[in-house]
Amino acid sequence: MSARILTGGDEAATRGLVLIHGRGDSAQGIAGLVPVLGAAERRIAAPEAPGNSWWPTSFLAPMAEMEPWVARGLDAVDAAIAATGLPKEAVALAGFSQGACLALEYAARRGQGLPAVIAFSGGLVGSADAEGEVYGFAEKALDYAGDLTGTHILVTCHERDPHIPLSRAEKSVAALRGLGAEARLIAHPGPGHQPMPDGIKAARAVLA
């Protein structure tokens, strides 16, 4: 089953924004970020995952388990970008939690030309299983071959996020920089799993 895509915003706009929801949320729910991010003057598209979840497990699960779900999610992002009616070079991505992970994975695998990616509480899914352990799962290699020159990426994560290891967010930013992106991490102190005021302020600046 393919993702439903909610569209809206300013139809005359020359810039777009694709919003990607987290587990249990919806396209309508994540669309609430439009005014928060100062994006009302953009064309908006928000894909909605079947069952409101891009994958049924942690993004840290083994790649053999994750890959089919990730592939479907990437196709949904492609469809959402197309739904804006704008070229990829004019469309930014923003996501939260699962949606943040999917946005970053899209950037690493298919994102050449994207102007910006905002990932609230997210990290890369990975390219292969690797040695080591994090949150009870095998570590992942973050080896990608894309070119993200000119893409601005903001990743946020709490120091003690129950779902997103800060170490994965840190390694994700390093991997994205390795692809040429201007990538930045904001690490929020303490526990939590939500967008924070300083992250939102930084995101608005990236999208301005």
CATH of the domain at 108: 3.40.50.1820
pLDDT score of 2: 77
Give pLDDT, residue 119. 99
Full-model pTM: 0.97
What is the model's pLDDT at position 20? 99
3-state SS class at 196: coil
pLDDT recorded at residue 39: 97
Structure tokens at 108: 């690493």
Number of domains present in the structure of the chain: 1
Report the pLDDT value the prediction gives residue 1, as an integer from 0 to 100. 62
The Cα–Cα gap between 69 and 112 comes to: 21
Which tokens in the block code for residue 119?
């990932």
How far is the C-alpha of 165 from the C-alpha of 32, rounded, in Å? 26
**Cβ partners under 8 Å of residue 141, min gap 6:** 126, 127, 128, 129, 130
Range of the domain at 198: 4-207
Instruction: Tell me if 202 sits within 8 A of 38, measured CB to CB.
Output: no
Low-confidence stretches of the chain (pLDDT < 50) are none
**Pairing mode of beta strands 152-160, 116-120:** parallel
Q: Which is it for strands 137-141 and 16-20: parallel, antiparallel or unpaired?
A: unpaired
Sign of CA dihedral 7, 8, 11, 17: negative
